[in-house]
């Protein structure tokens, strides 16, 4: 099947346009259709890729009737479950942007549909494929840091204008996305490194100082604590509105022989490492977001090569029939804990069990 040209449909051409460029550029792919509810966005995207009008759709159901091999979902999270189910039932493989679904019940519905249809499902969690995350995973697997017992992850990315329209005051879809809901960019890499899954969660944070009209998406900041099946404690800090420039992804692992962490200066690609017996004190290390060996085409999806690696992993799963690393189980492990942690925050910060959905 390696010589097959896969017919790909792109849904949601805002975020989907990044993946669209990667799929359109790929010798084993063809953009068979694209879909968006905005005629203007659809026309702009079609012009960029040179797509004829007959491959452009405003109606998702009509687009599925073209029977593409696979659908990429770059739509708002509240639509992910419904659109995933429809694509799977139509016989399509699904590559879904993060997170997998908006509620725990929707996560269960997605899992049931994947099992019922037998179709490929993968989460497009690009941060897992950053080169330094892959390097840390190798170090942990080799025991270089000893046994990992604590981890931290933080994602501060102020986007208040994507929560409430600044010009009109109109609430946008992200008013329903609590900070802890958007957890996969943070928990995802940590769980991928550890090969572990979260069993308990708690969260705090309900303040609305900065964006009172923002609903749950306008919560100032939230902190989640998680415990894994392997006994690792993870702390997550998330905000979509707290002032922070540049935006920040932070990761830290503490083991019995040492620690490794990124800095807090945004996408600077630096960090610190200390290993007992190897060095007297922490040393500065590179933490690159892009793999230069992949070439310039791999950067078409954004400022990192993560999106390119997601596409390659998805195509490999299509062609070999082997489950991808970010298949159903990983997708749920990187989605459900954040939903449960927010439930905990609303209940005053109690510990709650995290259901295992796979």
The four Cα atoms 220, 153, 161, 265 give a dihedral, to 10 degrees, of 110
Positive or negative, the CA dihedral 319, 324, 326, 329 is positive
pLDDT at residue 325 greater than cutoff 70: yes
pLDDT of residue 76: 96
Distance CA 20, CA 8 (A): 9
Task: Say whether 270 sits in a helix, a strand or coil.
Answer: strand
pLDDT level of residue 301 (50, 70, 90 thresholds):
confident
* 128-294+327-353: CATH, from 3.30.470.20, 3.40.440.10, 1.10.1740.10, 3.30.360.10: 3.30.360.10
Euclidean distance between CA atoms 127 and 307, whole angstroms: 8
CA-angle at 204, arms to 133 and 348, nearest 5°: 145
Residue 172's pLDDT band, with cuts at 50, 70 and 90, is very high
**What is the pTM assigned to this prediction?**
0.97
What residue ranges of the chain are covered by domains with CATH 3.40.50.720? 6-126
Instruction: Establish how many alpha carbons lie within 13 A of residue 271's alpha carbon, considering only the half-sphere containing its beta carbon.
Output: 22
Region of 341 please: left (phi>0), alpha (psi -120 to 50) or beta.
Answer: alpha
Nearest-angstrom CA–CA distance, 42 and 59: 12
Sign of CA dihedral 290, 291, 295, 298: negative
Which pLDDT does position 16 carry in this prediction?
Answer: 63
Phi first, then psi: what are they for 149, rounded to 5°? -125, -5
Mean predicted lDDT score pLDDT of the chain: 95
pLDDT digits (tens, 9 = 90+) for 141-155: 999 999 999 999 999
> How far is 267 from 42, CA to CA, in rounded Å?
31
Task: Decide if pLDDT at 40 tops 80.
Answer: yes
pLDDT band at 57 (very low <50, low <70, confident <90, very high): very high
Closest residue by Cα to residue 251 from 104, 82, 112, 137: 137
Within 51-162, strands assigned E span 56-57, 70-73, 93-96, 121-123, 148-156
Peptide bond preceding 99 in cis form (omega within 30 of 0): yes
| Ranges for all domains in the chain classified under CATH 3.30.360.10 | 128-294+327-353
Q: How far apart are CA 199 and CA 341, in angstroms?
A: 11
CATH superfamily membership of 6-126 = NAD(P)-binding Rossmann-like Domain (3.40.50.720)
Residue with tokens 């900041």: 221
The most distant pair of C-alpha atoms in the chain lies apart, rounded to whole Å, by 64
The CA dihedral of 280, 284, 290, 294, to the nearest 10 degrees, is: -60
Question: What's the pLDDT tens digit per position in 96-112?
Answer: 999 999 999 999 999 99
Q: How far apart are CA 250 and CA 189, in angstroms?
A: 11
Strands 198-204 and 148-156: unpaired
Reported as type and span, the H/E element at residue 200 is strand 198-204
The pLDDT of residue 92 is 98
User: Is the preceding omega at residue 345 within 30 degrees of 0, hence cis?
Assistant: no
Mean pLDDT across the stretch 74-95? 98
Average pLDDT score over residue span 256-280: 91
Neighbours of 118 (CB within 10 A): 8
What pLDDT is stored for residue 267 in this prediction? Answer: 59
Rounded Cα distance between 324 and 53, Å, is 33
Q: How far apart are CA 74 and CA 343, in angstroms?
A: 25
In angstroms, rounded to a whole number, what is the distance separating the alpha carbons of residues 286 and 134?
13
Provide the percentage of residues in the chain whose pLDDT is more than 90: 92
* Residue 265 φ/ψ, nearest 5 degrees: -105, 25
């Amino acid at each position: 099947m390696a010589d097959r040209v896969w017919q790909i449909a792109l849904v949601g051409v805002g975020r989907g346009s990044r993946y669209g460029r990667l799929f359109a550029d790929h010798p084993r792919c063809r953009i068979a259709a694209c879909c968006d509810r905005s005629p203007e966005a659809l026309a702009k995207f079609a012009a960029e890729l040179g797509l004829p009008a007959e491959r452009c759709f405003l109606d998702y159901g009509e687009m599925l009737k073209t029977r593409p091999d696979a659908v990429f979902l770059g739509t708002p999270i509240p639509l992910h479950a419904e659109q995933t189910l429809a694509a799977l039932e139509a016989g399509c493989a699904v590559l879904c942007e993060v997170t997998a679904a908006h509620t725990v019940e929707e996560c269960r519905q997605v899992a049931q549909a994947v099992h019922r249809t037998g179709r490929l499902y993968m989460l497009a969690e690009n941060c897992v494929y950053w080169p330094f995350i892959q390097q840390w995973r190798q170090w942990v697997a080799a025991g270089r840091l000893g046994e990992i017992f604590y981890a931290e992850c933080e994602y501060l990315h102020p986007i208040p204008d994507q929560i409430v329209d600044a010009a009109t005051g109109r609430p946008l879809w992200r008013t329903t996305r609590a900070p802890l809901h958007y957890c996969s960019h943070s928990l995802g890499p940590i769980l991928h490194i550890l090969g572990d899954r979260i069993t308990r969660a708690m969260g705090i944070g309900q303040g609305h100082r900065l964006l009172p009209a923002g609903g749950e998406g306008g919560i100032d900041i939230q902190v989640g604590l998680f415990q894994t099946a392997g006994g690792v404690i993870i702390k997550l800090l998330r905000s979509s509105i707290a002032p922070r420039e540049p935006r920040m992804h932070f990761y830290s692992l503490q083991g019995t022989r040492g620690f490794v962490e990124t800095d807090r200066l945004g996408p600077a690609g630096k960090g610190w490492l200390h290993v007992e017996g190897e060095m007297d004190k922490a040393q500065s290390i590179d933490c690159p977001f892009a793999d230069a060996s992949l070439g310039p085409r791999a950067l078409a999806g954004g400022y990192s090569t993560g999106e390119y690696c997601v596409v390659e992993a998805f195509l490999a799963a299509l062609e070999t029939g082997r489950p991808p690393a970010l298949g159903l189980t990983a997708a749920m492990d990187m989605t459900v804990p954040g939903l449960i942690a927010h439930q905990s925050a609303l209940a005053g910060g109690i510990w709650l069990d995290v259901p295992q959905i796979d």
